[in-house]
Chain A
Amino acid sequence: MENLTIIYLLGTLFSFLLVGFIIYYVILHQKKVSEYNLQLKEQELRKQQALLVALTEGQETERKRLAEELHDGIGAKLSGLNMSLEYLYNQAITDIDLLKQVSVGVSETIDEIREISQNLKPSSLFSKGLHKSLAEFVERLNTKGNCDYHLYIENFDEPISQELQFGLYRIISELLTNINRHAQATEASIQVLLNNDGVLQLIAEDNGIGFKTEYQANGKNGIGLQNIENRVAAFIGTINIDSTAQGTTIIIEIPVT
């Protein structure tokens, strides 16, 4: 009888140890595999980030070149043409109205080119800083349409890098342009805050008609939104979009430190 008890106890103990060993092996092996996979994933992410940074830098350089060509080349030539037109307008006896019309058209074209050039290369960002440059951008938008834009940028204790300032400018201008073109909003606001964890939070809100967020899930974003996502990804940030027929809220978080 005692032997049976011992056999039973040993058998139970052996079964338990065997199962325990199997589970321990599974945990150990799976931990190794998941750590290795995590490393691979991080490497892949870093590669993608480097690629995105290079891509945005290339885009910036190209924009700068294009802005200079527009401003110094076409802009300058049109200004010259406009001066000649003004001279002709002052000298002309006939077709005065037509000349006036052409002159106004050329002036408007020069203004548009200047604006495009300014948007392509925000030179004010270097001299005036992010806050003032964006304030000017918002002011320009406020004078144009029916929407009332508000901008709030927190004064950061530590200045953020120029690279990030450029990125933020592009992101915010893209967001504002999207609201201006598509949202049909009457109120819109942009807030830029830096929380205690060193995360920069950008909140864009509007009371417009919203857009279908499933485009985002399907990876069918518009070019504008895709640009924003690329820039956010380049700064290892996250983007959260909540859009309904009553308005849209976009929250972007970018680690600064």
Chain B
Amino acid sequence: MVFSDILTEISKFSSFLPVIFGLIYFKKINKPFKGLVYFYAFCVFFEYFITEYKKIYGTNIPLLHLLTPIEFSMFFWVFWKYFNQHILFYLSVVSVFIAIAFLDAFYINTIYTQNIVARPTESIVLMIASFYYFYLNLTNHKKTTLIYSEAMFWFSTGILIYFTINFYMFLMISQLVPPTAYLSIDIHSIFNTIANLLFAKAFTCFKWKT
């Protein structure tokens, strides 16, 4: 097993962590984070489904086109609940994103090529949401609790780190040819592991009452 395979396996294994921690703290966590537990459980299933799909059809890209809007809707839902915005705002953003993902899959590119429009768009919107979360906390002058005691902090940090690297990767994607392309997969595995660790950490912020 080469180093690259080890990183991929670690990355795959790390996707279990948010599910495990989510289930441990399930009774204590709030509604958006309960939704995240279901989503992470879905991702674990999807990860292995994708692997099997790739073995049969030789590519997993059509499924990634499908996963991107689902992932965006879920992550954006957590932010939307935190920001306490109107439902129409959430529906509008998600609808526009689904439209972009659809155009990307069928008109701009094909479902057999990377979704190089939808993924960067997803990254940008979620990065903005993370920055807005940090901005709100920086400008809240009445707060007496520490930011890192909040689940949203670890979630936003995970989102920001993962999607920043992801965004950069998609910016460079047209120039990524082997061996740099393989390196990008390794880097993606590393940051996916980091993000999963941070998502898992978020659940531990919901303390048991003593």
Contacts and interface: CB of A to CB of B under 8 A. Distances in A.
Contact of A27 (B147, B164, B184, B187): B147
A37 interface: yes
Given A34-B143, A37-B144, A41-B144, A26 B134 contact: yes
A30 B143 CA distance: 9
Interface stretch (B9-17, B21-29, B172-180): B172-180
A244 interface: no
Interface in B183-206: 183-184, 187, 191
B180 A38 contact: no
A9 B183 contact: yes
Contacts of B176: 4, 8
Please classify the interface of chain B as helix (H, G, I), strand (E, B), loop, or mixed, using the class held by over half of its residues: helix
B164 A29 contact: no
Contacts of B169: 12
A5 interface: yes
B134 A5 contact: no
Given A33-B143, A34-B145, A19 B137 contact: no
Contacts of A18: 164
A41 B180 CA distance: 54
Given A23-B160, A27-B148, A30-B138, 9 more contacts: A4-B177, A4-B180, A8-B184, A16-B161, A26-B147, A30-B143, A30-B146, A34-B145, A37-B143
10 contacts: A1-B177, A12-B168, A12-B169, A22-B131, A26-B138, A30-B137, A30-B138, A34-B143, A37-B142, A37-B143
